[in-house]
Homo-oligomer: A and B are copies of this chain.
Amino acid sequence: MTTVKTRGAPTLPVNSIIAGDCIEAMRALPDASVDLVFADPPYNLQLRGALHRPDNSLVDAVDDAWDAFDSFAAYDAFTRAWLTEARRLLKPGGALWVIGSYHNVFRLGAELQNQGFWILNDVVWRKSNPMPNFRGKRLANAHETLIWASRGQGAKYTFNYDALKALNEGVQMRSDWVLPICTGGEREKDESGQKAHPTQKPESLLHRVLVGTTNPGDVVLDPFFGTGTTGAVAKALGRDWIGIERDAGYRQVAERRIAKVRRYDAEALRVSTSKRAEPRVAFGVLVERGMLRPGEELLSTNGRHRAKVRADGTLAGPDVTGSIHQVGAHLEGAPSCNGWTYWQFKRDGVCVPIDLLRQQIRAEMQAG
């Protein structure tokens, strides 16, 4: 186990499983210390008993046994408690994922919103091999729902758009994910060869979550660790992880499982990066360096407009002056314009996009 010092005590028990109740365990961890929470809370809503009185009023909460939720009120109280702690533990730019089925996910989502979390997407895990509905009384329950939320409206969050787009054959990732359930060799077994956990999640699901919404080195907390799928995938992907699990049997399976995981090498962990992350280049630098001469004429990509380069890196169009972006937007009557991809210059009679010059400068910056 590693511990990471945060501002003041206590320390963060990274890459280890904390034994105990998730709410108490979270209370012992420091504010603003984790980048992501992934939670697969229990939803064994055992509602056979008297949930409602004859007049339909709700029966009072029973809050003495967390593992058997005798009423929606009890489940809501539990949800409120662990979400409150999770929100406290999240860094300002952190985010939370939670997964559930129709039994509990509506209560989870409503409570998330009540606490000020800001829902970014709900995601449907569409199971490619679900259990059929044997009695033919309902639709085959072939999906589960995940909710992805930032700490609050306007809060920052990590989203590796280009990595997910690459994972999806070059088309932007959608909110419906088709993945198989966890079976076969991936399914953890106990000593007697039985499945160790009733609802083990597939590693493919965590892979997509972690690649898409964390970076290497981030700290991922799973307060309902179970047999440690989150930890196994986090370790392989070079993320730090913290698990909380009450059941000693699950902890043992998870420890053994994660110990066997090897971290992928650094090159494999690098993902497609966004252009947004690349260093900014001022257009004026091209003029300073003599790549473009003051007075030189630029042409718009569509061939309809011209403008002249000025010594200070602005452009002079027919009736407007300003940055490459401003002049482009004005000439097109558009709300905005990316001047880098809009303008071209001529060399030896050939039109060349000015963005090529920016790429040259960026390459030099890399080398330098």
Which residues of A line the B interface, CB within 8 A?
Answer: 47, 51-52, 56, 58, 72, 101-103, 105-110, 112-116, 119-124, 126-130, 132-133, 136-143, 145, 147-148, 153, 159-161, 163-164, 166-170, 172-176, 178-180, 186, 202-204, 207-208, 211, 236-237, 264-265, 267-272, 274, 280-285, 287-290, 293-295, 308-314, 316, 321, 323, 332, 334-337, 364-365, 367-368
> A102 and B294 in contact (CB under 8 A), knowing A130-B174, A170-B323, A176-B126?
no
In the bound complex, CA of A89 to CA of B247 (Å): 47
Q: Which residues of B contact A332 (CB under 8 A)?
A: 56
Known: A106-B110, A136-B161. 8 other contacts (CB 8 A): A56-B332, A58-B114, A128-B367, A139-B164, A143-B174, A160-B312, A167-B287, A167-B288
Could you name 10 residue pairs across A and B whose Cβ atoms are closer than 8 Å? A51-B116, A101-B122, A106-B113, A166-B314, A169-B283, A176-B176, A207-B311, A211-B311, A269-B294, A271-B311
Determine how many copies of this chain the complex contains.
2
Check B312 against A211 for contact (C-beta < 8 Å): yes
Check A167 against B282 for contact (C-beta < 8 Å): yes
Residue of B nearest to A289 (CB): B204
Q: Which residues of B contact A148 (CB under 8 A)?
A: 139
In the bound complex, CA of A213 to CA of B196 (Å): 38
> A172 and B126 in contact (CB under 8 A), knowing A167-B288, A269-B310?
no
In the bound complex, CA of A284 to CA of B336 (Å): 34
Check A139 against B175 for contact (C-beta < 8 Å): yes
A285 nearest CB across to chain B (Å) = 7
Check B142 against A176 for contact (C-beta < 8 Å): yes
In the bound complex, CA of A137 to CA of B155 (Å): 13
Check B174 against A139 for contact (C-beta < 8 Å): yes
Residue of B nearest to A313 (CB): B167
Check A123 against B139 for contact (C-beta < 8 Å): yes
> A56 and B335 in contact (CB under 8 A), knowing A167-B282, A368-B129?
yes
Check B128 against A368 for contact (C-beta < 8 Å): yes
A159 nearest CB across to chain B (Å) = 6
> A115 and B56 in contact (CB under 8 A), knowing A126-B124, A293-B264?
yes
Residue of B nearest to A329 (CB): B56
